[in-house]
Amino acid sequence: MSNFAFFSEESDKVRRLMQAYQASVKANYILLCHRDGSVIAEVGTLGMDATPLAVLSTASFDSAKQIGMMLGEGEFRSVSYTGEDRSIFIAPVENTLLLVQIFSGSKLPNRIEDYNRLLVEKLVEAVPAFTQNTSRLR
């Protein structure tokens, strides 16, 4: 597991940004996790422990990254899945964090990648440590 930590005022900023984003894109649940599966922050309700979702999302994103490289794409910027009742969008925050977003319904919001990019920019601005190698932060 990571030794990732940040200050409570940074935690409050992250939570406020995630809550505002959640309301604007109408997500049911948003998870910010380390690429090792550690849960950093979450907003909304999932109805279960978020750790397995964080671990599996990381594995899914890493698999897609490898597929992208096999296809000469370099790497994919995001991963999404849609089902009948729920959809999920997974995207990186810099190199070591992921945003996992769950929505109701079988479609993701229009322009989700654009909205996600804006949230990532705000998160990195709010917590500059997100741009560092978080496995070494204390």
88-135 pLDDT, tens digit per residue, is 999 999 888 999 999 999 999 999 999 999 999 999 888 877 766 544
Domain annotation covers residue 1? no
- pTM recorded for the entire structure: 0.86
Looking up residue 33, the CATH number of its domain turns out to be 3.30.450.30
Residues 6+ apart with CB under 8 A from 88: 57, 80, 81, 100, 101, 102, 103
CA distance 11 to 59: 25
The tally of domains found in the chain comes to 1
Domain annotation covers residue 3? no
pLDDT per residue as tens digits for the range 5-58: 556 678 889 999 999 999 999 999 999 999 889 999 999 998 999 999 999 999
Range of the domain at 40: 8-133
